[in-house]
Chain A
Amino acid sequence: MSVAVVAIIAVALLFDFFNGFHDAANSIATVVSTRVLPPRLAVAWAAFFNFVAFVIFGTAVAATIAKDVVKPGVFDNRVIFAGLVGAILWDIITWWVGLPTSSSHALVGGMAGAAVAKAGWHALIASGMQKIVAFIVLSPMIGFLLGFTLMVLVYWAFHRYRRVDRLNRGFRIGQLFSAAAFSLGHGANDAQKTMGVILALLIANGVVPGTAGVPIWVVLCSYSAIGLGTLFGGWRIVHTMGSRITKLQPVSGMCAETAAAAALFFTAHAGIPVSTTHTIAGAIVGTGTTQRLSAVRWGIAGRVVWAWVLTIPASFVVSHFVYRAIGLFV
């Protein structure tokens, strides 16, 4: 393995670390904002389950990133490096302004932008991009509908129960499990994207054959990096996700996380790279909608949607220019 390959793997793991850092808010926002766990314990809880995901889930999402987005022959060190740098830059910008954007979409947009800069639009695999683009919209909708449905079912099951304190205590304990489930889904989905990038790099450099699966050391490194990133997680987005979209109670936090976790388990199993950020945002809006539509602060939700629409084009453009800029020096 050359020094360049090792360096790009380090950058990929750095992206994974930032992914955990950026998305830590999604896993813990509801737990922290409903005061079920103190922030420090909440991040440790989320980081642990991010890592444990490797025992449960396969590598279908990694295979999609490595083989279904960009034509295999197009990937080389420069494309992968430019794609990663573009995605990291976009992630840092959105983290700085407190926008809950998707690191996953940033990665897909980044890889696509660098690949198009190298080989034109034919470098992209239409069917793979189609799957990803469709689920950009579908995954928050699934989160929204499941969040609303779960919330109605819980209200329906417990509306005659008069001991509210006891009920709330039950939901707070339930939230520990729902946060764990969501962190599992987050780890499975997001760590696999980095695995996919590293796999593409290893195949491009002939380190592993084109038909190979993800080596176990790549799996372990990716889950460790995202777990560590979560442990050092960012706080700016916690505020947006946990309290500004709608006011969360333990019951709504539990329902939102369970709904988002169900959506993420399905997509991880089906090999569809979706945004954990948008899935949980959709689920939070869904639980807020059980009160009334005006319980959701649509201005904030609209900001999330704008970031959602802009992420792939913005990271595409950034990576495109990074690819060309590298060409000036190499």
Chain B
Amino acid sequence: MRLSRRPQFFALVAVVGLLLMAATPREFWGVNYFVAGLGAFWAVALGIEEIAAQQRNRKREEP
């Protein structure tokens, strides 16, 4: 099962959001959490959607 680049891209955005905490002043860490949370949410949602679509296609192809 392979995921396309899109969920991976959102996962990358989430990771970058967290890594940037090192450079962000503490009072704005909420922004990092927001970026990481939303990025992770879309990475998971798109990943689930793709896996479900792949399974549907496989079932359809089976005799």
Contact = CB atoms under 8 A, between A and B. Distances in A.
Interface in B5-32: 5-6, 9, 13, 16-17, 20, 23-25, 28, 31-32
A138 B5 contact: no
A23 B39 CA distance: 28
A141 B35 contact: yes
A288 to B, nearest CB: 11
A137 B9 CA distance: 15
A141 B13 CA distance: 7
The contact size tier of chain B is 10 to 19
Of B17, B23, B32, B39, chain A has the most CB atoms within 10 Å of the CB of B23
A13 to B, nearest CB: 31
B6 to A, nearest CB: 5
Contact of B23 (A130, A149, A289): A130
The A interface, classified by DSSP as helix, strand, loop or mixed, is helix
Given A138-B17, A293-B5, A145 B35 contact: yes
A134 B24 contact: yes
Given A134-B20, A138-B20, A138-B35, A145 B13 contact: yes
A173 interface: no
Contacts of B13: 141, 144-145
Interface in A250-279: 270, 272
A133 interface: yes
A263 to B, nearest CB: 10
Contact of B35 (A127, A131, A142, A148): A142
A141 B42 contact: no
Contacts of B32: 138
A163 interface: no
Contact of B24 (A138, A148, A292): A138
A270 B20 CA distance: 18
Given A142-B31, A145-B13, A293-B5, A133 B39 contact: no
A127 B25 contact: yes
Contacts of A127: 25
B28 A131 contact: yes
Nearest to A289: B6
Contacts of B34: 142
Interface string A121-134: 00000010011011
A131 B20 contact: no
A10 B32 CA distance: 38
B34 to A, nearest CB: 7
Given A130-B25, A134-B23, A145-B13, A293 B6 contact: yes
B38 interface: yes
A134 B28 contact: yes
Nearest to A131: B25
B39 A145 contact: yes
A141 B25 contact: no
Interface in A130-189: 130-131, 133-135, 137-138, 141-142, 144-145, 148-149
Contacts of A141: 13, 16-17, 35, 39
A133 B17 CA distance: 13
B42 A148 contact: yes
Contacts of A289: 6, 9
A171 B34 CA distance: 27
A299 to B, nearest CB: 16
Interface of B: 4-6, 9, 13, 16-17, 20, 23-25, 28, 31-32, 34-35, 38-39, 42
Q: Give the 10 A-B CB pairs with smallest separation, nearest first.
A: A134-B24, A134-B23, A145-B38, A293-B5, A141-B35, A293-B6, A131-B25, A134-B20, A138-B31, A137-B20
